[in-house]
Amino acid sequence: MNVSAVIVFVAIGSALEIIQNTLLDFIAIRGVHADLILIVASYTAFQFGSQTGQVSGFLLGIVEDAVAITPFGFHSIVRLVHSSILGFARGTVALDYVVIPVLLVIIASGIKVAMVAAVTAVFSLNDLANPVWTISTLIEISYTAAVAPLVFAALRKIKKPDG
Amino acid sequence: MKEVRVQRLSFWILFVASLLSIGWSRRGSDFFPQRIALGIVGGLQHTVSAVGTATVGTVRSVSDLRNLRKEYDLLLEELQRYRSVASDLDALVQENARLRSQLGFIENSEYQVIPGKVIAKSDSTIYSSLTINRGERHGIRVGQPVVAYVNGEEGLVGRVLRVSGSYAVVLPVFAVNSYVGARLERTRHEGLVEGTGLVDEPLTMRYVASEAREGIEYGAPVVTSGLSSRFPPGLRIGTVREVSSPPYEPSLVLSLTAIVDFDRLEYVAILSEVVQ
Residue-wise pLDDT for B31-80, tens only, equals 788 888 888 888 888 888 888 888 878 888 887 877 766 666 776 667 66
Residue B109 has pLDDT above 60, yes or no: no
* pLDDT single digits (tens) A100-147: 999 999 999 999 999 988 988 888 877 666 777 778 888 989 999 999
pLDDT at residue A104 in the model: 93
pLDDT at residue A124 in the model: 82
Rounded Cα distance, B216 and B242, in Å: 10
Q: Which DSSP state fits A71? A: P
A77–B contact, CB cutoff 8 A: yes
Mean pLDDT of B178-202: 85
For chain B positions 29-58, those within 8 Å of chain A (CB to CB) are: 31, 33-34, 37-38, 40-42, 44-45, 48-49, 52
**CATH code of the domain in which A100 resides:** 1.10.1760
In a domain, A50, yes or no: yes
Residue B274 has pLDDT above 90, yes or no: no
In a domain, A37, yes or no: yes
Rounded Cα distance, B189 and A49, in Å: 59
In a domain, A163, yes or no: no
DSSP H helices, B72-170, are 76-108
pLDDT at residue A151 in the model: 92
Residue B193 has pLDDT above 60, yes or no: yes
B16 close to A59: Cβ distance less than 8 angstroms:
no
C-alpha dihedral (A80, B13, A74, A81), degrees to nearest 10: 20
Calculate the average pLDDT of chain B: 82
A109–B contact, CB cutoff 8 A: no
In a domain, A54, yes or no: yes
* pLDDT single digits (tens) B111-135: 788 889 898 887 776 778 889 999 9
B195 close to B176: Cβ distance less than 8 angstroms:
yes
What is the number of CB-based contacts under 8 A between chain A and chain B?
A: 164
Question: Taken in order B105, B107, B110, B112, is the CA torsion positive or negative?
Answer: positive
pTM here is 0.70
Q: Which of B171, B116, B115 is nearest to B143 (CA)?
A: B171
A100 to chain B nearest CA, in Å?
24
Q: Which residue stretches of chain A have pLDDT < 50? A: none
In a domain, A128, yes or no: yes
**Range in A79-88, B144-153, B179-188 with the lowest mean pLDDT:** B144-153
Residue B189 has pLDDT above 60, yes or no: yes
In a domain, A111, yes or no: yes
Binary contact (B14, A54; C-beta < 8 A): yes
Domain count, chain A: 1
B182 to chain A nearest CA, in Å?
19
Residue B276 has pLDDT above 50, yes or no: no
Residue B108 has pLDDT above 60, yes or no: no
Domain coverage including residue A115:
3-158
DSSP states along A79-91: HHHHHHHHHTTTT
Q: What is the ipTM of this complex?
A: 0.87
pLDDT at residue A105 in the model: 93
